[in-house]
Structure 1
Amino acid sequence: MTNHIFFQPFVGKDYANGGIFGKRIMILGESHYCDEGCSDFGNCCLHRECASFTQGVINDYLDDGKERQNWMRTFVKFERSLVGKETDQAMRLKIWNSVLFFNYLQVAMGGPREAGTSAQYHQAGDALFEVMEKYQPEYIIAWGNRLWDKMPGEYWQNGDDIVVDGYHVATGWYVLSNGKRVKAMAVNHPSVGYSWDYWYRVIQRFYSA
């Protein structure tokens, strides 16, 4: 266990070589919350076995033998914005095995719209840098503007906005200790009101900008 990371990231088996995207992509969620299925999740941060909860969430989602739950729609909509089309189980496995998924806040929230404290967001920034240094992503796609606004400002440089259909999407990059740059942007949170075909166009511009 590292100093700052509690919820260990899900790392797709093909992430290191870029998988179907040919690039190392980190998907950055904001937080877990208590009704996502962890036993005794209200006390999750007291139990080391819950350190693998992020990995369990993705594995449950990818297991088509598991009963479908409402939170899974978020992942469906987002994965479609990575490939620009509706996805089936075979494509779903290829997508998530190609990426790294990490939840930013390292403590559990009480519900899906709950925000953390300033101290929790600050501590989470340290965890984010640890994950970036270890796994060396080339791109970060963050879920939601609230998270985007809370991401750390250290080692950050602003990039040019991506403009699609008149809507501006901010970009920038982090500089790692080895000098490599990690480009970052945020999509609208895919849990509600998410147009995956629009965001596919933005994400494609993001890769080429």
Structure 2
Amino acid sequence: MKNVFFRPWVGSEYGLDGSVFNQKILVLGDSHYTDESEIMNWVEDLEQSCDFTTGVMNDYLNPELGGNWKSTFTKFMNSLVLKSVHSERSPIELWNSVAFYNYLQIPAGTTSRLTQHFNYSKEKDRNALLEVIEELNPDIIISWGNKVWDALPENFGYGHYVASEDFSNFYYKYPYKNRELKLLGVTHPSTSYKSSYWADVFSKVGVNI
């Protein structure tokens, strides 16, 4: 994947028989935040930078590590499974059943407030996403936040999307190869995310079966 800098984290059971979900779900985040010293380390160790997303997810799943940032991932997954048979599953089981990837392929400063200064319309970021989709072949993509949603292409290479009748503002169906690829755009879980609302949506469209 020549345009991808931050390679996706792929759960150990993603797309396999041991997955909690019957469909392959790609969770599409916004961006990574880090300080300048970390970026300078990447200049010397490119492999470390490529594995940054995997490191973030491993830190999230490590119960010995704390941090307020973890609530974003917890809030989202809790709403995804709230009205499904998977609500009692452990976070490790759930996150190991999906893939996670951030849209921006450059660090977006040290906090989420700085992302407003970044350009989400660059072809490199869009092409990187298309490469990830090609490699992971998801059935469903759940996109976090308006900035990424607005940057997503209308066509993944196999025809223009069709908006769902029930949730036309944030639920699209794309022709992809010989099947249908579903795309949902949700409020970013780090902000005013209404878990009960999105839990109802996920249940109605059947993305968490």
Q: TM-score, normalised by structure 1?
A: 0.84
Give 1:45 shift. Answer: 6.1
| One-letter identity of the residue aligned with 1:174 | Y
Query: Could you list the runs of 5+ residues in structure 2 that have no partner in the other structure?
Result: none
Higher helix share: 1
Structure 1 residues 118 and 188: alpha-carbon distance in aligned structure 2, compared to 1, 3 A threshold: closer
Equivalent residue number for residue 94 of structure 1: 93
Structure 1 residues 77 and 9: alpha-carbon distance in aligned structure 2, compared to 1, 3 A threshold: same
Give 1:53 shift. Answer: 0.4
Q: Which moved more, 1:7-16 or 1:179-188?
A: 179-188
How do residues 122-137 of structure 1 correspond to structure 2 at under 5 angstroms? 122-137=123-138
Q: Does the 8 A contact of 1:28 with 1:101 survive in 2?
A: yes
Equivalent residue number for residue 33 of structure 1: 33
SS in 2 for 1:203: helix
- Establish whether residue 172 from structure 1 lines up as the match of residue 169 from structure 2: no
SS in 2 for 1:190: coil
Structure 1 residues 118 and 139: alpha-carbon distance in aligned structure 2, compared to 1, 3 A threshold: closer
SS in 2 for 1:23: coil
Inter-partner Cα distance in structure 2 for 1:52 and 1:145: 26
Inter-partner Cα distance in structure 2 for 1:161 and 1:69: 39
Q: Does the 8 A contact of 1:16 with 1:24 survive in 2?
A: yes
Give 1:188 shift. Answer: 0.5
SS in 2 for 1:102: strand
Give 1:58 shift. Answer: 0.5
4+ residue segments displaced more than 4 Å: 85-88
Q: How many residues are aligned here?
A: 196
Inter-partner Cα distance in structure 2 for 1:45 and 1:170: 36
Inter-partner Cα distance in structure 2 for 1:42 and 1:87: 38
Equivalent residue number for residue 147 of structure 1: 148
- Establish whether residue 107 from structure 1 lines up as the match of residue 143 from structure 2: no
| One-letter identity of the residue aligned with 2:119 | T
Query: Could you list the runs of 5+ residues in structure 1 that have no partner in the other structure?
Result: none
Q: Does the 8 A contact of 2:170 with 2:186 survive in 1?
A: no
Picking from 63, 77, 80, the partner of 2:78 is 80
Q: Does the 8 A contact of 1:15 with 1:98 survive in 2?
A: yes
Q: Does the 8 A contact of 2:175 with 2:181 survive in 1?
A: yes
Q: Which moved more, 1:149-158 or 1:126-135?
A: 149-158
Give 1:197 shift. Answer: 1.9
Equivalent residue number for residue 22 of structure 2: 22
Inter-partner Cα distance in structure 2 for 1:181 and 1:43: 41
Picking from 162, 173, 192, the partner of 1:158 is 162
